[in-house]
Structure 1
Amino acid sequence: METTTLKLYSLEYKEAKTYLMAALFMAGNIVFPQLCHTVNMGGPTWLPIYLFTLVGAYKYGWRVGLLTAVASPFINSAWFGMPVPASLPAILLKSILLAGIAGYTAHRFQKVSIVLMLAVVVGYQLTGTLGEWLLKGDFYLAVQDFRIGIPGMLLQIFGGYLLVKYLIRK
């Protein structure tokens, strides 16, 4: 597997760039889910609310990821009704885990690879599924991402890798 070393950042909350980058990734997390929701079961299949959280946290650090992870689901729910409010706790849990794991992985390894993206996605999904099971008390609902969302996880792994490696070169 090819590993690429690239410029990764760990922006601080006191930097204006943190909020600018978070706003850009939030926009991606608003537009992309709307596109996916035009297809039947597009949200549960493609898991679009997580892609730009992953990219933002990996490239610009956990703070950008956390801002994106928390704001995006609330904005989408308020503006478009998706995700439904009852789903917000589980989605927020997974989004926050994703931001933390992606930010940590990027900081720790200072490179991007398919294997690292796989570790991030599997890490937040497994941990988030356990948390969702505790929140909902229903194992079948908690494993929905593994039943329906494999295409979305693959998109996060390969799409996230490509976005971090090629499209965000600075």
Structure 2
Amino acid sequence: MGISYSVEVDEERSAKAMGRELTVSKKDAVELCRFVKGRSLDGARETLSAVADGDEPVPLKKHNSGSGHTSGIDGWDAGGFPKKAAEALDDVLYNAKMNAEEQGFDTDEMVVEHIAAHKVGESRGMKPRAMGRATQWNSDLIDIEAVVLQEDYEAVGDDEAEDENETEADTDEGADEGGED
């Protein structure tokens, strides 16, 4: 049965990783995914560790009424420091980095091509109340998928095809020149 991702990827120049059923806020995970997408792999991991340490704020673009304004965000007011979600995303990107190394890629040239968070269910819980009652207190379960892509990758088959095309072009030119005499 295998794990399915929400995007099609080029297997020759990418590595994938997924965190399954993580107990983090979906809102925070989605905002962090938007924040690190398109960055280099090492840069994204540094950014996530800075967010977890409280050094770099994440702009909250959706559902931000009631959230405080944070200085240090260019062009945006509402921001925050979602520590738990940042640590979970950092673990997923670390896994993607190790998968890329295992596949033989240079991780210094990898870029976060796709990263997304999806709600997959709830973990049921109860909160005790007065008079012996209880209220449901459920937690969301989130899947986070990441695809990292090597930027300047040339497939081995492409080099051989180019060499064949150049060789054919050279022989065609030689045949044309010989026919002109």
TM range (shorter): 0.3 to 0.5
Which has more helix, going by share of residues? 1
Which has more strand, going by share of residues? 2
TM-score by length of 1: 0.34
TM-score by length of 2: 0.33
